[in-house]
Structure 1
């Protein structure tokens, strides 16, 4: 799959590169695995002098031997003798940068924690020593969110306060996802687009896997996802076990419950039979995997909050793949597909709401967007979008089938929040798959 979009990020990276030609620049890029960080960084340095280093979990001596070889091949930097410690290599690179400008990309930067945790202190000491004279564009790239935040944002860590720039790479927008599907399937229909969004959430690698395999329709996508050799089957576990460590069982149980619709802490606590408050906070704040959704117009401490899995692929995985491990172990992928088909319409309807919230956020001037529900569960509104600058608002009901949208009922629900909308010019609309 060719390179798509990322114009804003490329602009930031270019600005940082230009700055680094005068004084050292230290950028961190963080994003979930498979989102396209490496592709973006390599695209940004095309035609420039750069060194790309990938931190594998191996002995520091072996890693440095590989890095020394890479530095000679990519920069022409000849270092006499054998380097066995990263600090010595990093110092040589900084000295080289006092003579010649280049970009240094270190991928999976957080893995230095496994190689030798002292490397972070070594980088800090050498950076402080050379940054005023080295013309280096240093980019640290990482995919384990919790570790990367600890390394750079914990006041007790040596690299705290050293960054010039921080980029958190997000999935492709719905418009880019649509553009990619159109290039591979000019005759796509709304069901195809919804399925691609539902399975990938705009994550570049997942889109690439589907498109390159010719899975460009709703049926073909679900066929590929439920094949015995599908990379989507084990991906959820591969992504998260390294994040959660020994407690992965409890975290997986919580995520499975949230994905299945048990989205209040009281519900989760009663099923797991323990207080999950600390786990939920970690999943939200440390791992950035779930979101605490409050009704629009509610007070900050509202107890009506509902949790949701933020990542579309992981939401799908915890809803359909993880709970059906026994089917997978028996090789009954036909029954797994049948289970998905049976629940697909209801599940995709919820994802369609998220799709339209993203689409409105991207294409319309809004300052806040969410949903509304009251304490009794009588009045639920799928989308409430506000523009506090222009004093306009959009209220929307979302259904897969346009014929099922009841505008009279929606207008009745809007009356329950009329006092909050008094200062806004409000559009009340229905959104269906026809509007994607």
Structure 2
């Protein structure tokens, strides 16, 4: 079987940030899940490269002659550098010695084990998180709305080409560069294999510990069912122990930590903000997977089965939207949070922008819930102490519908298939 392959480099939303960082920092560390495109992107910005996973001899050379391995035109890509963690200090010292920006690009699909001898790299490296491709990066968006330019002005002529069924296909196929042109059936085989490799090999290589693949699989299925929610460790432990054997929270936490180290579990933190009232904020993060396609794979969903379950598809769609927002906002140096307070008010995505501004988005798959989403956004604006935070740059409901427009309240309705950075 052949998967779709990217022959020509596809522009990534992280490209501009990588270029900026290489102009001022000694190096850039590209982090993210396996197969999300780190090597292609690193190669695009590099003038020479070495892959530590290419052969055993290369890995041995990294141990025996690390300084020689670093010789080459700059920026020099060191791919899968975490396979030889001792390189970190060597590269750090080499950056200090050269005293020039743009020397190295390090890419890796796992975080090495903690080592007290390994310096943080502060002041020398910029860490940039890469994720699977957004709808825009895949070339599926009409790009009618630029998030960077969005403000209070009313929207006109906004349209998405993606139907409800198209969005289900995109959810199951995911944003993996190798699957850009793949069929849904080929994509399902790819993601199923991805999860099998993760459970059997990737976690052991990243942590040095063999985790029970059956229980890891149950944990992934539990995370898939609750994707985009504030699931507790206790409820996850109950799911993992479905065979009757006791599983404590500490074991589940170790599994989660291992999945986080290979960038498969992706937490969306709660927003810490000053409120006008004495309402208490809830601080539990929402849990996402690296790509919603992994949730579909863990539950063995086809596009038709996903489309036939609008309630669960709504959860998956929210995770798709959050992933796309992260790809755009993080490329500017911003972050994406969520909001929930003790009164039950929830907002799906709070965008903290690089200039200190903020915006808020609710995510609703269908048009029937736009009114409720609008009301939640307006209540949030009333509760936030705008004297400290400033007024929101914009309020928006991201939908799976065809048309975009602006409501009389000023809240925008934005189809996911019309967004651009």
- When the two structures are superposed, what TM-score results if normalisation uses the length of structure 2? 0.63
Structure 1 residues 88 and 134, CA gap change in structure 2 (3 angstroms): farther
Instruction: Report the counterpart of residue 275 of structure 1 in structure 2.
Output: 248
State the Cα deviation string for residues 138-178 of structure 1 (Å, max 9, x = none). Answer: 443322x232xx3xx63234x66498324434136646335
In the alignment, the residues of structure 2 paired with residue 367 and residue 356 of structure 1 have an alpha-carbon distance, to the nearest angstrom, of 16
Q: Does 1:33 align with 2:39?
A: no
Asked if the contact 1:171–1:201 (Cα under 8 Å) also holds between the matched residues in 2, the reply is: no
Q: CA deviation at 1:381?
A: 4.4
SS at match of 2:136: helix
Flag the structure with higher helix content: 1
Query: What does the per-residue CA deviation read over 1:381-414, in whole Å, with 9 as the maximum and x for residues that have no partner?
Result: 4455677979875464x43331x12626863895
Q: What is the rounded CA distance, in whole Å, between the counterparts of 1:169 and 1:405 in structure 2?
A: 32
Q: Structure 1 CA distance, aligned partners of 2:67 and 2:347? A: 58
Higher alpha-carbon deviation: 230-239 or 296-305 = 296-305
**Deviation per residue, 1:216-258 (Å, 9 max, x gap):** xxxxx3x4434xxx32321122235333232143333222212
Aligned residues: 353
Q: Which runs of 5+ in 2 are unaligned?
A: 1-5, 144-158, 205-209, 402-414, 417-421
The equivalent of 1:117 in structure 2 is none
1:419 pairs with one of 383, 392, 397: 383
1:141 pairs with one of 107, 110, 132: 107
SS of 2:103's equivalent in the other structure is strand
The equivalent residue for 1:407 is: 371
Map of 1:11 onto structure 2: 19
Q: By how many angstroms is 1:358 displaced?
A: 5.4
In structure 1, stretches of 5+ residues that fail to align are 20-24, 65-83, 114-119, 216-220, 322-335
Distance 1:242 1:290 in 2: 20
Q: Which of the residues 81, 94, 105 maps onto 1:109?
A: 81
TM-score (norm 1): 0.61
Q: What secondary structure sits across from 1:320 in the alignment?
A: coil
Counterpart for residue 155 of structure 2: none
Q: Is the 8 A contact 1:53 1:106 kept in 2?
A: yes
Work out whether residues 133 and 177 of structure 2, in 8 Å CA contact, stay in contact via their aligned partners in 1: no
Find the residue that maps to 1:317 and give its secondary structure. Answer: helix
How far has the Cα of 1:3 moved from its partner?
Answer: 1.1
Change (3 A) 1:303 1:8: closer
Distance 1:387 1:93 in 2: 38
Q: Is the 8 A contact 1:55 1:112 kept in 2?
A: no
Give the number of the structure with larger relative contact order, counting CA–CA contacts within 8 Å between residues 6 or more apart.
Answer: 2
Find the counterpart in structure 1 of residue 44 from structure 2: 43
Q: Kindly indicate whether residue 296 of structure 2 is the aligned counterpart of residue 316 of structure 1.
A: yes
TM-align CA RMSD: 4.8
Q: How does 1:293-308 map to 2 (within 5 A)?
A: 293-294=269-270, 302=282, 306-308=286-288
1:348 aligns with 2:313: yes
| TM-aligned CA deviation for residue 260 of structure 1 | 0.8
Task: Kindly state the Cα deviation for residue 42 of structure 1 after the two structures are TM-superposed.
Answer: 2.4
Match of residue 156, structure 1, among 114, 117, 141 = 117
Task: Find the aligned partners of 1:429 and 1:13 in 2 and give their Cα distance.
Answer: 30
CA distance in 2, matches of 1:51, 1:240: 29
Deviations 1:169-197 (A, max 9, x none): 413664633535679xx994243663465
Instruction: Tell me how far apart the structure 1 counterparts of residues 398 and 268 of structure 2 sit (CA, whole Å).
Output: 24
Cα separation, partners in 2 of 1:373 and 1:111, compared to 1, 3 Å? closer
CA contact (8 A) 1:191 1:433 kept: yes
In the alignment, structure 1 residue 204 sits paired with structure 2 residue 164: no
Secondary structure of 2:30's counterpart equals strand
Does the 8 Å CA contact 2:172/2:292 hold for their aligned counterparts?
A: yes
1:232 to 185, 191, 208: 191
